[in-house]
Amino acid sequence: MPRQSAPLPISAYSICTAVGTDTAQVAAGLAAGAQGLVRLSDAQAAEITTHVGRITAPLPPIPAPFAGLASRQLQIALHLVEAMREPIERALHRWGAHRIGVFIGTTTGGMDGTEARIHPGDAITARLASTHADDTPWYRSHALHVTADFIAAISHTTGPRYIISTACSSSAKVFGSARRLIALGVIDAALIGGVDTLCRFTVRGFHGLGILASERCRPFSTERQGINIGEGGALLLVERDEGSLPVLRGRLLGVGESCDAHHMTHPEPNGRGARESMRRAILDAGRPASDIGLVNAHGTGTAINDAIEAHAIAAELPHGPPVFSSKASIGHLLGASGAAEAVLTLMALDLGIAPPSIGCDPFDETLPIDVRSVARSWARGPNPMLGLSNSFGFGGHNVSLILEAA
């Protein structure tokens, strides 16, 4: 039996998506059902018709000492850290730099920087093997771990740091890693989250798999055709000892992880892995399933995935809590989706709403879950509402999180 962990306080978070680059913008967009998806316009991928969730606001430039690592990926990471300077400084003072870990989820890391080094007609291996103008080898900026190392450097933390990359569940997995290492006393706090950037590599890849929607994606609708890719990320500061925190934004109560062992890209048809991750998260939270009042679905917008997830949710949460998907607003943030959607779930719990799932009408009535295209509010009870957030990745690696607003 796994050891029961105490709830993990979340003292701060930041988020950056196509519908906003700060928490106020994103929360307002979440409640209003903002639409951040635009038609892909890329001369080097002109054969692909789809929509993407692109961040249009300017992002901060990479500081000179890291110029050789520059990528849009690190610009988003820098933006997320800058938005949390004050709570990070407090944590540094409270715990010490070496007691704060950094665990980040991503799928492509610095791929956008690698693509920027390549020109049409280049022989790739030779091109990459030649060093950049500033002598930084390509693999240093390309490797996934660069994002975690960069966040540690600019946040002045010196604890353990690494990337978790299990496709679309990457930045949900980091919650489990941080929770275990805090529970075991290795660290006292952690910056956890995820970042992923739009790049041709993934757009072409998903296009090749035939699962990109040409129009805006429509999770849980009868007219759903596939996914739209987005970029962005989220960062959360988790700390032990809730009593000493001046600000509390929420709590992580449960983490459930499972593995389909079925297929690299198709979920297990009976939803075994999805159900197992939700069941384990609920067990880990130590609360009855009926306490779950809101579900953020992985809800990608593909016919099969949405159907399997909907039936899995209905089986594990027969009391029928409201379910939403944000992917028609911000796109699928891939490795960053777990953390970004955890923040959206906390925001929704804080606002007291089930956010709208835009594009879900006409809703697929064969799905046994409660999804609406308009926001709904609920009467606050004596206890804080719990939210469950699902993230399911290629390789069959699934994670469910149970979150509670402060």
Partner 1 sequence: MTLPAMPVVGCALWTPTATEPLPRSRLIDPRDARRVSTLTLLLATAIERALEGTTLSASTVSVVFVSTLGEIVNTIELLERAQRGDGSPMRFRNSVHNTAIGHYGILTGNASFATALSATPERGLIAGLLEGIGRAAMHDEPVVVVWAEEGCPAAPDEMRDPIAISIALAPPEWDRSRPMPCLGVLRCTRPQPERSGEPAPLLGPRQLVEAMQTPRLEKTSQTLVSRQPDGFCIEWEAR
Active site residues: 168, 298, 332
In this complex, which beta carbon is closest to partner 1, that of residue 12 or of residue 167? 167
How are beta strands 353-354 and 229-230 bridged, if at all?
Answer: unpaired
Give the number of other Cβ atoms within 10 Å of residue 145's Cβ.
16
Using CB under 8 A, pick the residue from 128, 283, 315, 351 that binds partner 1: 128
* Cα–Cα distance list, 226 to 135, 283, 328, 358 (Å): 41, 32, 11, 15
Phi, psi of 269 (to 5 degrees): -60, -30
Query: What mask, x for binding partner 1 by CB under 8 A, covers residues 357 to 396?
Result: ------------------------------------xxxx
In this complex, which beta carbon is closest to partner 1, that of residue 163 or of residue 289? 163
How are beta strands 292-296 and 322-324 bridged, if at all?
Answer: parallel
Is residue 31 exposed (0-12), middle (13-18) or buried (19+ Cβ within 10 Å)? middle
Cis peptide leading into 362, omega within 30 of 0?
Answer: yes
d(C-alpha 180, C-alpha 368), whole Å? 34
Using CB under 8 A, pick the residue from 35, 158, 214, 222 that binds partner 1: 158
Using CB under 8 A, pick the residue from 61, 208, 286, 362 that binds partner 1: 208
Using CB under 8 A, pick the residue from 74, 163, 198, 358 that binds partner 1: 163
Q: Is 5 in the site for partner 1 (CB under 8 A)?
A: yes
* Bridge partners of residue 401, in order along the sequence: 255, 389
Q: Is 43 in the site for partner 1 (CB under 8 A)?
A: no
Using CB under 8 A, pick the residue from 125, 135, 246, 379 that binds partner 1: 125
Q: Is 303 in the site for partner 1 (CB under 8 A)?
A: no
Where in 167-206 is the site for partner 1 (CB under 8 A)?
A: 167, 173, 177, 180-181, 183-186, 200-201, 204-206
Dihedral sign computed on CA atoms, order 25, 215, 231, 314? positive
Query: Closest approach of Cβ 398 to partner 1, in Å?
Result: 10
In sequence order, the 6+-apart residues with CB closer than 8 A to the CB of 327 are 217, 219, 227, 228, 230, 299, 300, 301, 337
Q: Is 253 in the site for partner 1 (CB under 8 A)?
A: no
The span of 137-145, 217-225, 227-235, 346-354 binding partner 1 (CB under 8 A) equals 137-145
Using CB under 8 A, pick the residue from 90, 207, 218, 240 that binds partner 1: 207
d(C-alpha 284, C-alpha 141), whole Å? 37
d(C-alpha 307, C-alpha 271), whole Å? 9
The span of 132-140, 346-354, 357-365, 367-375 binding partner 1 (CB under 8 A) equals 132-140
Give the number of other Cβ atoms within 10 Å of residue 316's Cβ.
21
Using CB under 8 A, pick the residue from 57, 82, 86, 265 that binds partner 1: 265
Query: What mask, x for binding partner 1 by CB under 8 A, covers residues 93 to 122?
Result: -----x--------x-x----xx--x-xxx
Query: Closest approach of Cβ 173 to partner 1, in Å?
Result: 6
In this complex, which beta carbon is closest to partner 1, that of residue 97 or of residue 314? 97
3-state SS assignment for residue 168: helix
Query: Closest approach of Cβ 178 to partner 1, in Å?
Result: 10
Residues that bind partner 1 (rule: CB under 8 A) add up to a total of: 71
For Cα atoms 344, 251, 163, give the angle at the middle one, nearest 5 degrees.
Answer: 70
d(C-alpha 197, C-alpha 77), whole Å? 10
In this complex, which beta carbon is closest to partner 1, that of residue 268 or of residue 364? 268
Using CB under 8 A, pick the residue from 51, 54, 90, 161 that binds partner 1: 161
Q: Is 166 in the site for partner 1 (CB under 8 A)?
A: yes
The span of 26-34, 55-63, 145-153, 349-357 binding partner 1 (CB under 8 A) equals 145-153
Closest CA to 196 of 219, 218, 168, 172: 168
